Amino acid sequence: MATIPTIKKLRTHVPPLPPDKLELALQEVDRLAVSLSAREQIKQILKAAANENSETVEAVIASLPKDRQQIVIDLLLKLQQQEQQHTSAAAILAAGLTLLSLASFLAALVAQFQVTADEIELRTDMLLRERVNIWIKAITDEARACGCDRSGVAPSGADLEALRSMSEKAAQSVADTYNRDVQRQLNKLTKAVPDGDKDYYLRELRKWAANRSVWKSAQIALNTETQTREYARRRFWEMNKLTERKFIATGVTPTCKICVRIFAAGVVGWDYVRRNPLPAHINCPHYYKLVHKPKVDCKTLWVG
């Protein structure tokens, strides 16, 4: 896999302390009048937050269970491929516009790089196909966690509609952001180098698009996975009348304030789960699980 640059830290991130301050903070935690396990938890959070690699897309993917990592990486590669096709097609078309004046060329260049409605539709279809696969896998995993050897069934009706709507929203919002960023990037280029030739702007925009697609695709792939799983899990719990049970957030040590708060809540009821959804934000690798393995009738278990 290509190297994935660090994403911007969340504004609500627990402050990442430099080594000397971290040492002091850990000593202070030792003096807190809280339980030993709470102290350990706080120390782990401080240490994880101090690790600047804790929120790269790569690190988040690595924190997922092995079989889920592969799903995310496969989807990431597909998205990147699609993005590269888009960029090359745009570049070829843009190169054909060299007879235009510079101003018209730049306007046409942006238009070529921007994602069209047709492409959004294609991406929606692709994301929906992926979500259907992830749904089946997630339901199968939940059934297994209940001790049942049954496979998930492809979603239908309202569930299929919900997955389609998630896919549409994702494809649209990714395209909107991308289209805005292309314009912004070209403005930056022409401001920095006002007298560049057409080739220069084309080359630089291509370079920018290639770099950007790597980590954007990773984010989309990861989000598709975690969001779909959470939805499937919730439907599984609802349909199998497991919402009276107790739940707990799980996954790697959280480093942002939203997730730290959810972890600190410990064992919670369904109402809390509904009001505090996980994943809590982009790149959040956390999810809820049942505290105890429920006794279910495998024959009548709802699997989609």
Nearer to Zn ion, 210 or 258 (CB): 258
Q: Does 171 contact Zn ion by CB under 5 A? A: no
CB of 209 to Zn ion, least distance (A): 29
Token pair belonging to 231: 């939805």
Nearer to Zn ion, 147 or 266 (CB): 266
Choose one: 18-26, 46-54, 64-72, 253-261; the region binding Zn ion (CB under 5 A): 253-261
Residue 272: which of 283, 281, 263 has the closest Cα?
Answer: 263
Token pair belonging to 254: 């959280």
Q: Are 29 and 43 in contact (CB under 8 A)?
A: yes
How crowded is residue 28: how many other Cβ atoms within 10 Å of its Cβ?
A: 11
User: Binders of Zn ion among 31-90, rule CB under 5 A?
Assistant: none
As to burial, measured by CB atoms within 10 angstroms (0-12 exposed, 13-18 middle, 19+ buried), residue 284 is buried
CB of 279 to Zn ion, least distance (A): 6
- Whole-angstrom CA distances from 147 to 37, 139, 144, 151, 231 are 30, 13, 5, 12, 21
CB of 120 to Zn ion, least distance (A): 28
CB of 29 to Zn ion, least distance (A): 20
CB of 300 to Zn ion, least distance (A): 34
User: Binders of Zn ion among 279-298, rule CB under 5 A?
Assistant: 280, 284, 286
User: Binders of Zn ion among 254-283, rule CB under 5 A?
Assistant: 256, 259, 280
Q: Does 209 contact Zn ion by CB under 5 A? A: no
| Helix residue ranges per DSSP H, 6-65 | 19-30, 36-50, 57-62
CA distance 123 to 128: 8
CB of 11 to Zn ion, least distance (A): 11
Contacts with Zn ion: how many residues (CB under 5 A)? 5
Nearer to Zn ion, 109 or 249 (CB): 249
Q: Are 61 and 217 in contact (CB under 8 A)?
A: no
Q: Are 213 and 76 in contact (CB under 8 A)?
A: no
DSSP assignment of 216-232 equals HHHHHHHHHHHHHHHHH
Choose one: 52-60, 126-134, 182-190, 249-257; the region binding Zn ion (CB under 5 A): 249-257
Q: Does 222 contact Zn ion by CB under 5 A? A: no
Nearer to Zn ion, 232 or 259 (CB): 259
Contacts to Zn ion by CB under 5 A: 256, 259, 280, 284, 286
